[in-house]
Chain A
Amino acid sequence: EAQVTQNPRYLITVTGKKLTVTCSQNMNHEYMSWYRQDPGLGLRQIYYSMNVEVTDKGDVPEGYKVSRKEKRNFPLILESPSPNQTSLYFCASSLEQADPYGYTFGSGTRLTVV
C-alpha cells in the first residue's frame, strides 16, 4: 500500500532533550515536506526537500533541522525542544515539487514538550 509513515504517533518529552521524528514513504516520491498544525493557526510548512541532499526552509523553520540522505526518508530533528514546539506534526510527500496530482500525508505525530 502506498503510504507515508511517521513515527512515533505520540511523544512526550522534556525541554532540551533532542528528539527525531521519522518519516518514510514507499512511493519513490522526490518531494517531501514537514508541517505543523496548531489551533487557530492551521498547518504551516516547516521544511521541505526536493530530492536527496536538497532541503530548504518553509514558513516556520526555527528550532528544527531536517536531512534527506535517502529518497524515502525525511526525518525531522529538534535539537533542543521547547514548549512552543508542542504541536501536531505531519509529513507529506509528492512525486515532484508542485505535483499536479497532489500530496499524500502521514498520520501525524503529536508532540508535547514539558
Chain B
Amino acid sequence: KQEVTQIPAALSVPEGENLVLNCSFTDSAIYNLQWFRQDPGKGLTSLLLIQSSQREQTSGRLNASLDKSSGRSTLYIAASQPGDSATYLCAVDSARGSTLGRLYFGRGTQLTVWP
C-alpha cells in the first residue's frame, strides 16, 4: 500500500527565509504528485501538480520537484511571507490497477512564518 511521509511535521521561520518541504512515497507507480495548501478549518487549495513524466513545476515563489524513481518530492518556497502560514499537503495519484486514481496524502507540514 502506498505510504506518503512529509518532513518536517512543523516548521516555524522568520519572514524572508527560503524553505524546503519534503515528501516521500513508497510506490513509484504514480500518475502525478500534487501539492496542496490548507488553511485552518478550510478546504484544499491546489498549488502545483507534477505529472509523472515531469521533473519540476514552478508557480511564482513556489517550485516543486519530483524524483519518481527515488520516491521523493520537494516543495521550495522562496522569500517566505506571513501569508504563507498554513499546512502543506503532498498527495500522490496511484497508477496501480486496484487503486487507480486514488490519492494518497501525507500528514502535512504545518508552516508558521512570523514577521
Q: Which of A33, A58, A105 contacts B43 (CB 8 A)?
A: A105
- Let me know if A103 and B106 touch, CB within 8 A: no
Inter-chain pairs besides A98-B95, A104-B46, 7 sampled, C-beta below 8 Å: A35-B103, A45-B102, A45-B103, A98-B31, A102-B34, A107-B43, A108-B43
Interface string of A74-94 (1 = CB under 8 A from B): 000000000000000010101
Interface string of B30-45 (1 = CB under 8 A from A): 0110101000011110
Which residues of A, 55-114, contact B by the 8 Å Cβ criterion? 58-59, 90, 92, 94, 97-108, 110
Chain B residues close to A by CB (< 8 Å): 4, 31-32, 34, 36, 41-44, 46, 49, 51, 89, 91, 93-95, 100-103, 105-108
* Residue ID in chain A nearest B34 by CB atoms: A102
The bracket for how many chain A residues form the interface is 20 to 34
Chain A residues close to B by CB (< 8 Å): 31, 33, 35, 40-45, 48, 50, 58-59, 90, 92, 94, 97-108, 110
- Complex: A31 Cα to B101 Cα, angstroms: 9
Shortest A57–chain B CB gap in Å is 11
- Complex: A46 Cα to B51 Cα, angstroms: 24
Specify which chain B residues have a CB less than 8 angstroms from the CB of A107 in the assembled complex: 42-43
- Let me know if B44 and A90 touch, CB within 8 A: yes
26 A–B contacts, CB within 8 A, in A order: A33-B103, A35-B103, A40-B107, A41-B107, A42-B4, A44-B105, A48-B101, A48-B102, A59-B102, A90-B43, A90-B44, A94-B101, A97-B101, A98-B94, A99-B101, A100-B51, A102-B32, A102-B34, A102-B46, A103-B34, A103-B46, A103-B93, A105-B36, A105-B46, A106-B43, A108-B43
